[in-house]
Each structure stands twice: as C-alpha cells, then as structure tokens.
Amino acid sequence: MPQHKIFSEEEATNVLKQAALLHERANSGASDYVPGITAAELERMAREMGIQPEFLRQAIEESTKSAPAPRRGWKTGKEFDHVFDGCLSPDRYDVISSTVSVGFNSNNNTGLRQIGRSVHGSVMAGPSILKLEVTNRGGRTRLKASSSPLLGYILGGELALFGSIISLVSVADSGNVPRAVAGLVVSLAGGFGLFKFFQNWGNRAAEATVEKLCTAIEEELEDQAKAESATQDTDAGSPD
C-alpha cells in the first residue's frame, strides 16, 4: 500500500472497521484472543489519529447500549454486538433465558441451547425472530444478535401473493386489464406497507430485548464481582 495515500475520515473509518472484522475472523479461534476494545485503547487510537479527547468522550456518551451494528445495503433486520468486562459464569446463563422468557432446549432448533461456555439460539422479539449468541473468553462476555421480521415476510408476502392471484383471475374471467393492474398495484402496495409495519415493530422489539439482555448481563457480572470480592476478603481474614 502506498504510504503517501491520504484517506478521508469516512474511508479511514471503513478501513479500520474492515481490518477489525478481518482480525476477528482470523484470531477468534486463538486461545489468547480477547474480544472488544477498552476505552483506554480507543483513546490511544483517537490520539494517534489526531482526534481530540472531548469528541471521543462525546461519541461514547452518545452511543447507546442497544445501538445496532451498521449494516450495508438494504437490510430488513438489525444486528447487535456488545462486549462486557468480565466472564459470565456458565452456571448463571439462566439469566439469559429468563430475560427473554425462553428456556434452554437441546432437542430441536428452537429456543436457546447452552454448549460449554456459549449460548445460542433463536427467540421471539415481538413479531421478529432474534438470533442470539453469548460467549465468554479472555475475561470478557460477548453478546451478538440479529433480527429478522418473520411476520412481516409471512403476512406481507401473503397479501401481495393473494392479491396478485386475484388480479390474474380477474383478467382471465373478465378481460378487464386496467382493473386487474389496479388490483395488483394495490395488493403489492398493501403487502409492502404491512411488511414495513411489522419490520419497524420487530426492530423496535429487538432493540428493547437486546437492551434488557445487556442490563441483565451487566447486573449479573456486578453480582459475580461482588461475590468474588467478598470471598477473597473472607479468605484474607481467615487465620492460617
């Protein structure tokens, strides 16, 4: 790569994001891989890029815990990726299932399943399906989620399909092409409108579910840290 090339701020952001994705894919299987970036690491990167610290702090404050990860192109659902300091104990993974009101299910592909130190599966978030994956390694817990507007696909698609069929039947029976075209346009517009309604509803429900999960994981990690600290204090105060 030419060292004299100048990148715009947007280009630099895209390059760093792609490099981070490549790094994660290449190193996610390594035993010493630690997910996420700390605030101190972000400050160092911003300093090297000439970004003033107050702007970085403002950006961190403006980012919400349920903010979806950006997706390119036209996407119907949302993706989320959050990393927490501390490993959620596998025997406390029930906090995840209780938050989304779905129990572990190892017999089929519905619900959540725990495999070792990870939990994955699909749950309902309003009219959407929310795919979840929770893992812990390197002293951190990671929550990844992606939503898909299931009911929007089903109901919006059915309305458009049945409307199209009725329009075709109308042409075959009466030969009234303008009426059939009008019916087709109405059915397609209605199907798309119904899909958008369920899509927006599902995305809001997915954001709310992920935010609840983030809060539950953070609270559980705090409880774990307090319990570990109390145990260490007790051990330190015990006579030899």
| 3-state DSSP assignment of residue 132 | strand
**Greater pLDDT, 198 or 186:** 198
Alpha helices by DSSP H, listed for the chain, are 9-27, 39-48, 53-62, 94-100, 150-151, 157-174, 177-237
> Which amino acid makes up residue 59?
A
- How many Cβ atoms are within 10 Å of 120's Cβ, its own excluded? 14
pLDDT confidence of residue 107: 47
Residues 122 and 236 sit within 8 Å (Cβ to Cβ): no
**Greater pLDDT, 28 or 140:** 140
CA dihedral of residues 163, 169, 171, 172 (deg, nearest 10): 170
Q: Give the strand pairing for 111-115 and 140-148.
A: unpaired
pLDDT confidence of residue 209: 92
- Residue 101: which of 84, 124, 68 has the closest Cα? 124
**Greater pLDDT, 74 or 27:** 27
pLDDT confidence of residue 208: 92
**Greater pLDDT, 32 or 214:** 214
Q: For 54-76, what is the mean pLDDT?
A: 63
Distance from chain centroid for Cα 235: 40
pLDDT confidence of residue 167: 62
Identify the sign of the CA torsion 59, 64, 66, 67: negative
Residues 141 and 216 sit within 8 Å (Cβ to Cβ): no
Structure-token pair, residue 105: 């299910």
Distance from chain centroid for Cα 99: 16
pLDDT band at 159 (very low <50, low <70, confident <90, very high): low
Q: How far apart are CA 222 and CA 229, in angstroms?
A: 11
- Residue 134: which of 118, 147, 122, 121 has the closest Cα? 118
What residue spans define the domains of the chain? 10-63, 67-240
**Greater pLDDT, 49 or 147:** 147
| pLDDT digits 0-9 by tens, 96-149 | 888 885 544 444 444 788 888 888 888 888 888 889 999 887 788 889 999 888
Q: How far apart are CA 55 and CA 44, in angstroms?
A: 13
Question: Which residues have C-beta within 8 Å of that of residue 67, sequence separation ≥ 6?
Answer: 80
Residues 159 and 191 sit within 8 Å (Cβ to Cβ): yes
pLDDT confidence of residue 105: 46
H or E segment and range at residue 202: helix 177-237
pTM, whole model, 2 decimals?
Answer: 0.64
